[in-house]
Amino acid sequence: MIDGVIFDKDGTLFDFRRSWGGWAQNLLAQLARDRAHAREMAAAIGYDLDSGIFAPDSPVIAATAQDIAQALAPHLPGQSVAQIADQINAAAAQAQMVPAVPLRPLLESLRATGLRIGLATNDTETPARAHLAAHDLTDLFDFIAGYDSGHGAKPGPGMCLAFARATGLDPARIAMVGDSLHDLHAGHAAGMLRIAVLTGIATQADLAPHADVVLPDIGALPAWIASHAA
């Protein structure tokens, strides 16, 4: 039986490539002296400026703004990691997120069955809330946390366990839903079910050994939860 679902954001609620490619282009244009400098920084964060493709090990996929800033810092002398992270977060708050599926109907259908819903993202909390608000979703979440919310970052279990505490649910009856190994490892460490989706960069072969199930996207979640309950 599943009583709650905690979602990752990028690559799970929102399609990763279509959402974060535009962010990367805009951020690098703001930071770079010229096109060559932009390509240099793009390579540092695992992004191909010309093709718009993220490398599987790009820190943008599952790491924090601080991690991305540290990767860029050697290419931005005179700026601290904190200053670069501030610019990353400001650009992230303005990023145009593309839903992986129609989100409000899906989340309303999950809530209608009595499920509690949370968000655990390695984005900072302020941009995360901005992205949910832009799609009229905030009221559907019982819990929202970013890596700066005081519970630590994934793959640590802190955000997942904080959701369990906030809702009074048994972690064993909560599903962590995400598109990356960070998400699945966080769910495992918290003692939760692990549901992987393929709307990020990782492949089924990457995710399947670490997940209880791999779904094409979160649109398949209600049917899977119903079959799991049965």
Kindly state whether residues 59 and 143 are assigned to the same domain.
no
Tens digit of each residue's pLDDT, the chain (230 residues): 899 999 999 999 999 888 888 889 989 999 999 999 999 999 999 999 988 889 988 998 888 889 999 999 999 999 999 999 999 988 888 888 999 999 999 999 999 999 999 999 999 999 899 999 999 999 999 999 999 999 999 999 999 999 999 999 999 999 999 999 999 999 999 999 999 999 999 999 999 999 999 999 999 999 999 988 76
pTM for this model (two decimals): 0.86
16-41 b/e with 16+ CB inside 10 Å = b?
A: beebbbbbbeebbeebbeeeeebbbb
* Residues sharing a CB contact under 8 Å with residue 43, sequence separation 6 or more, in sequence order: none
Kindly state whether residues 110 and 214 are assigned to the same domain.
yes
Domain boundary, last residue among 94, 111, 138: 94
Kindly state whether residues 49 and 109 are assigned to the same domain.
no
Domain boundary, last residue among 50, 67, 94: 94
> Where residue 131 sits, what CATH number does that domain have?
3.40.50.1000
Question: For residue 65, what are the domain limits?
Answer: 17-94
The pLDDT value given to residue 183: 97
Compute the distance between CA of residue 223 and CA of residue 49 in angstroms, rounded to an integer.
38
Q: 222 and 191 in contact (C-beta within 8 Å)? A: no
Domain boundary, last residue among 71, 94, 117: 94
Kindly state whether residues 61 and 132 are assigned to the same domain.
no
Kindly state whether residues 29 and 121 are assigned to the same domain.
no
Q: 91 and 127 in contact (C-beta within 8 Å)? A: no
Kindly state whether residues 136 and 184 are assigned to the same domain.
yes
The pLDDT value given to residue 190: 98
- Count of Cβ atoms closer than 10 Å to residue 195 Cβ: 28
Kindly state whether residues 104 and 179 are assigned to the same domain.
yes
Kindly state whether residues 87 and 137 are assigned to the same domain.
no
The pLDDT value given to residue 230: 66
Kindly state whether residues 185 and 131 are assigned to the same domain.
yes
Kindly state whether residues 107 and 191 are assigned to the same domain.
yes
Kindly state whether residues 38 and 111 are assigned to the same domain.
no
The pLDDT value given to residue 200: 92
The pLDDT value given to residue 165: 98
Helix H or strand E encompassing 175: strand 174-178
Q: 127 and 86 in contact (C-beta within 8 Å)? A: no
Give me 36's structure tokens: 């060559």
Q: 92 and 64 in contact (C-beta within 8 Å)? A: no
Q: 24 and 38 in contact (C-beta within 8 Å)? A: no
Q: In the chain, how many domains are there?
A: 2
Kindly state whether residues 129 and 103 are assigned to the same domain.
yes
The pLDDT value given to residue 63: 80
The pLDDT value given to residue 228: 83
